[in-house]
Amino acid sequence: MQASYIQVSEEMPLGKERQGSKEIAVSKDFPILQTKIRGKPLIYLDSAATSQKPLSVITAIDTYYKTTNANIHRGLHTLSGQATDLYEGARKKIATFIGANEKEIIFVRNATEAINLVAHTLHPKRGDMIVSTVMEHHSNIVPWQQVAQQTGALLAFIPLTKEGLLDMKKTNVLFAKKPLLVAFTHVSNVLGTINPVKELVALAHKYGALVLVDGAQAVPHIHVNVKELDADFYVFSGHKMLGPTGIGVLYGKKALLEKMDPFLTGGDMIKEVALEGSTWNELPWKFEAGTPNIAGAIGLGTAVDYLQSLGMENIQKHEQELLQYALEKMKCVAGVTMYGPLYDPLIRSGVIAFNLGDIHPHDLASVLDDEGIAIRSGHHCAQPLMQTLGVSATARISVSVYTTKKDIDVFLVALEKARRIFRL
């Protein structure tokens, strides 16, 4: 698939923020970026797998454990109250960030657990249809396969056009079959395709379907308002949005969450327990069994603070400029095949999956690692998509707020070195 390109203005990039006449590089907020790999500066181009963390997030987690470590909600002592305030304060920040109500924000371990939560509380009947797409991460395919096997529900998948977009004609045909639920990604972790969420949600709702959107690759990079999108469920992971690992979010419409059964039981999700039976806590705690990842939630709330301090519009513009720059430069490298839709900031976000001649992506990643460059190689937990593309694996670069054009330039030099090593 070939890429077309647009011109962008030469305004100050996100990599620097003005304080009077002083400019401070955003990358300096990320301690790990001072690391050297085999004596060479780290060039981190694997943010779609997990993002790096600003010092403010690291400090927030460290401070919690040093000064406020206690369990939440049930304790009457000072530390418990402070920890509860921090934990629930993080929930409020996240709700505001995506335009939700606090009671609609459920803390989970990651987007994968959020999808599993919905899948195991949906209770489809035999013959009910669940629709997904062939561009999904395995986390948005396998839970639905399991549910279908257990219940007799039917699975269907929206195919792609040759440009790497969802086939809307086939989408209309499948939605007209009145599925119980439609589950799709907001942004593809391989193609970078930004799916038309509002259009898809409206169409699915027209036929009475619920909609779950995997926003793991969207929330860190573009402005997301769940009320505007009108999705019934929206999921994302903290570690891809400058936050810590082990914390994620399920957004669900309040009316739906109130009707759903708990996914896990025990601990703070309980209201009352008798030997004869139990009753459940109110939202959002009904879905947060056991002691939660308190430090993780606090860290994620701080990550949201950091993203908002930069501004999501600024972040998106910065990353789109980097994406366009990288695509334009890579198309000049002999032997490079890139995958994804035509370049357009409305339909493509900051990942580039590619292959270089007949070099296996793992071999290419090893050569780049020798140069201090971290990229991803393999099937990216998207094997059905790899089959559609006709490849077993690809290499992938991905950008974030701390990525610079210099990082891209160093990467391009290393690509040329790989060509020489493998005699392409």
Q: How does pLDDT run across 9-61, given as a tens digit for each residue?
A: 233 345 444 333 223 469 899 999 999 999 999 999 999 999 999 999 999 99
Domain ranges (residues) in the chain: 16-52+312-421, 58-308
Burial 2-32 (b: 16+ CB within 10 A, else e): ebeeeeeeeeebbbebeeeeeeeebbebbee
Give the pLDDT score at 25.
63
The pLDDT value recorded for residue 20 is: 32
What mean pLDDT is predicted for residues 218-229? 98
Q: What's the full length of the chain, in residues?
A: 424
* 154-183 confidence digits (pLDDT tens): 999 999 999 999 999 999 999 999 999 999
User: How buried is residue 80: exposed, middle or buried, by Cβ count under 10 Å (0-12/13-18/19+)?
Assistant: middle
Give the whole-number percent of the chain exceeding pLDDT 70: 94
pLDDT at 100 over 50: yes
Overall average pLDDT of the 124-143 stretch: 98
Nearest Cα neighbor of 13 from 422, 404, 409 is 404
What type of residue is 363? Answer: D
Mention every residue, 6+ apart, whose C-beta is less than 8 A from residue 181: 122, 124, 130, 131, 209, 210, 211, 212
Q: Which CATH architecture has domain 16-52+312-421?
A: Alpha-Beta Complex (3.90)
- Residue whose C-alpha is closest to residue 321's, from 2, 3, 1, 12: 12
pLDDT of residue 345: 86
pTM (2 d.p.): 0.93
13-19 LR contacts (CB < 8 Å, sep 24+): 13/318, 13/321, 13/404, 13/405, 14/310, 14/314, 14/315, 14/317, 14/318, 14/319, 14/401, 15/318, 15/402, 15/404, 17/310
332 part of the active site: no
Beta strands 181-185; 233-237: pairing state = unpaired
Distance (Å, whole) CA 226 – CA 220: 14
pLDDT of residue 19: 36
Query: Domain 58-308 class?
Result: alpha beta
Q: Mean pLDDT of all residues in the chain?
A: 93
**% of the chain beyond a pLDDT of 90:** 91
Quick one: pLDDT at residue 343? 85
For 306-325, what is each residue's pLDDT tens digit? 999 999 999 999 999 999 99
Predicted local confidence at residue 59, as pLDDT? 98
| Catalytic option among 270, 374, 381, 424 | 381
Does residue 119 surpass a pLDDT of 50? yes
Least confident segment among 69-73, 88-92, 340-344: 340-344
Range in 11-15, 408-412, 413-417, 419-423 the model is least confident about:
11-15
Residues 338-353 as b or e (16 or more Cβ within 10 Å = b): bbbbbbebebbbbbbb
Q: How confident is the model at residue 95 (pLDDT cuts 50, 70, 90)?
A: very high
